[in-house]
Amino acid sequence: MSDPVSRTILLLDIEKYSDRDDVEQAYLRRMLYDITDRALEDAGVDETLRLRADRGDSVMELIDANASVTALLRALLTEVPAQLRAVNRMASSSAQIRLRAVLATGYVAVDELDGWVGSDLNHACRLLDGEVLRAALRDSGDDFALCVSESVYAGIVRHDRTGVPAADFHAVTVDSKNGPLRAWLHGAVPGGSDDHSDVQNHSGRGPGGSPAPDGGSGGRPAPGGSQGNAAAPQATAPQGAGRGAAQGGVVITFNGGSPSFGGSFVAGDQHGVSGGRVAGDVHLGGSGSGLGSEPGSGSGGESA
């Protein structure tokens, strides 16, 4: 076996290939080869700079590390979708072709039987087979879904080069039998957010790249958030209180009598947080009528 050599890894797979009959599969394979050749030609990748492996419903390309990855990415983002639209426009529904693609880099060795060996290649295959990419193609209205490895994102995509907009790629984590694999998906993440059964966002940012809010699960602002930055007062119930309830930092202590809201009254002497006491009944809400009929109404107020 040869020593591992740095390569660019391109994988393309046909969606729902096994659902077609033999005639349709043969046609789809020809279209896959033609689309792949045109994309590599458009990227300036000569045939002498690549090796191809046929996997039936997919094709694997090992490309010389000296070939431009940026040019190849541009071709995948423009040339491949254009070719797919042209082919599918004239094809019957059974002959429609939709593709998943992965672009990665890494070290790959070729053995004496022309077999390819390398963990980077294995990881690229896991990304191609992962539910993230499958769902992205299934949920989108496009005929093409692309995922790139961490190395391709770090070396090419994040620099926002011409024809390769970094904002169009989103961080995802793909579950695989090798464990979670980090990658970058082109286009919308399945489910409309970066959280998915097979997708997680590890960028630490919210939708559109904005910083994620601290805590909270809804869009409603915290109480008093629009009124300033003053913190809500904190209060604790006085020791020895019989029954108490706290709401919004206020504690009301009830010593005898039952509280009644919405136009009725609270019976019994009332003790405030700061030590003040009001003897008699306290009316909460509604009009003042009827208070006079209650014994001790409005009398006996003391201030500590």
**Fold classification of 5-208 (topology level):** Alpha-Beta Plaits (3.30.70)
Q: Where are the domains of the chain?
A: 5-208, 243-302
Q: Write the pLDDT tens digit of every residue in 224-283.
A: 433 444 444 444 444 444 444 444 444 444 455 545 444 444 455 555 544 555 555 555
pTM for the model: 0.64
* Contact between residue 132 and residue 188 where contact means Cβ atoms under 8 Å apart: no
- For residue 63, pLDDT over 50 is answered with yes
- For residue 79, pLDDT over 70 is answered with yes
Closest to 187 measured CA to CA, from 148, 131, 130? 148
Q: Write the pLDDT tens digit of every residue in 20-62.
A: 999 999 999 999 999 999 999 999 999 999 999 988 889 999 9
Q: Strand (E) positions, the chain?
A: 5-14, 50-54, 58-64, 99-110, 116-117, 144-149, 169-174, 181-186, 243-247, 250-255, 265-266, 269-271, 277-278, 282-283, 301-302
